[in-house]
Structure formats: structure tokens, C-alpha cells
Chain A
Amino acid sequence: AQKVTQAQTEISVVEKEDVTLDCVYETRDTTYYLFWYKQPPSGELVFLIRRNSFDEQNEISGRYSWNFQKSTSSFNFTITASQVVDSAVYFCALSGGYSGGGADGLTFGKGTHLIIQP
């Protein structure tokens, strides 16, 4: 069975601080995909990133960066110089096998509610 754990239920920081959201996953698949999605107050989930299990290279996109470590089964997400608009619930997700989120769907964590205070 697959499982995603986001231990941080809620994080509150002041604007411009850096913040890291933790994600730990469990899977028996040797090939799998990891994702982060953002759910702003409007409610619509927005795709942020996909990473496959063979690619441990970290990725940076503007103020966002992701650290994938297979040795610790973690896929953490860092926001640098946070802004009020980053306030949202962030979900880490996992899919197994070769479907990449198709036939077996995505297994989501419970999410981390990020509050950026001005």
C-alpha cells in the first residue's frame, strides 16, 4: 500500500521568511512518481511539480525548490522569501508503477496549511 505523510498540519511564518514543507512517502514500487499540489483558499488544486523515482536531482523554479531523497523517502518543498500569496494548503502526492497517476490515481497526504503573515 502507498502512503504519504505530511506531519506538519499548519505552519505560520512572517512574510519573506523561508519555509520548508515536509513530505515522507511509503511505497513498494520501484518506479513511482511524486507530486506537489497547491490548494489556495479558492479551493482549486493546482499542479506544481512531478518527479519520477529515477530522478533525484533537486529542482528550483523561481522561489520554489524541491529536495528529493530516496534514502529517507522524502520529497520536501521549500519556499524562499515567502509572500502572502503563498498562503494555501499544500499537498504532497504519490503514484505508483508506470501509470504516473493514471489508472491508480494519486495518493495524497493530508496537506500542510501554510499561513504567510504580512
Chain B
Amino acid sequence: DTGVSQNPRHKITKRGQNVTFRCDPISEHNRLYWYRQTLGQGPEFLTYFQNEAQLEKSRLLSDRFSAERPKGSFSTLEIQRTEQGDSAMYLCASSLAFRGKSGELFFGEGSRLTVL
């Protein structure tokens, strides 16, 4: 299967710990996005990369959140000093960059974070 892959699928952690999620996009896609989804809500945009450049990060929820895409392939989302309010599903998506496909995102199954 060559879809978007996210790991781990589930993460349970204690408040104050750091967590990292990994996303492997579809190989030919040069855009990669992170979204957060809480129960009963639609996905909320966090950040986006085109190749290895992080072109939008102002929507990251706080300075505890950071994302990288070091070689323009996989990406990581790190949350430092987790809080209970960080409990959510973290979604990764990828897409092609050209205008005719803009917004046509391919999502992974998500990484569910539970902060105790």
C-alpha cells in the first residue's frame, strides 16, 4: 500500500512528557500537512511543508509544538511537555503541489494521543 502512513497509531503518555509522531507521505507528493482533530470537530490545520521547507507554522498551537521534514520526505511532529488538552487525533496529509490538485489531500489514519 502506498498511502500516507502514520506512526504510532496510538500513544498514551503522562502529562509533562514529550511525544513525537512520524508521517510518511505518498512518495511523489511534495506537500505535507499536519492537522489536529478533537472529538466531534473537524480537522484543524497546524502546519505545512513544501518539500523540506516549512511554509506555514503560525497555526501551530503553541511553542510546545514543532514539526520537521528534514529531507523533504517523512515528517515528524513533536509535542513537548504534553498537557491533557493535547489529547486528540493528529492527522498527516500529503498532496501534489500544482494548482489543479490543490486541496486534494490524502490523509493518513492518524495518531491518537492520550495524555493522562
Q: Say whether B25 faces chain A, with CB atoms less than 8 Å apart.
A: no
B contacts with A, residue count (CB < 8 A): 30
Contact indicator A100/B42 (Cβ below 8 Å):
no
Nearest B-chain residue to A47, judged by Cβ: B104
Q: Contact between A33 and B42 (Cβ–Cβ < 8 Å)?
A: no
> Which B residues lie within 8 Å of A108 (CB)?
42-44
- With an 8 A cutoff between CB atoms, is B106 at the interface? yes
Residue pair B59, A102 in contact (C-beta under 8 Å) = no
Residues A22-43 near B (CB distance < 8 A): 33, 35, 37, 42-43
For B45, give the chain A residue with the smallest CB separation: A105
Q: Which residues of chain A have C-beta atoms less than 8 A from B99's C-beta? A: 98, 100
Q: Indicate if the CB atoms of A104 and B109 lie closer than 8 Å.
A: no
Q: Is the Cβ of A107 less than 8 Å from the Cβ of B103?
A: no
Q: With the chains together, A101 CA to B33 CA distance in Å?
A: 10
| A91 in the interface (beta carbon within 8 A) | yes
Which residues between 85 and 112 of chain B lie within 8 Å of chain A, taking CB atoms? 89, 91, 93, 95, 97, 99, 102-110
Partner-B contacts on A (CB < 8 A): 4, 33, 35, 37, 42-47, 50, 91, 93, 95, 98-111
Given contacts A104-B56, A108-B42, 8 further A-B contacts (CB under 8 A): A44-B107, A45-B105, A50-B103, A93-B103, A101-B103, A102-B102, A105-B33, A106-B105
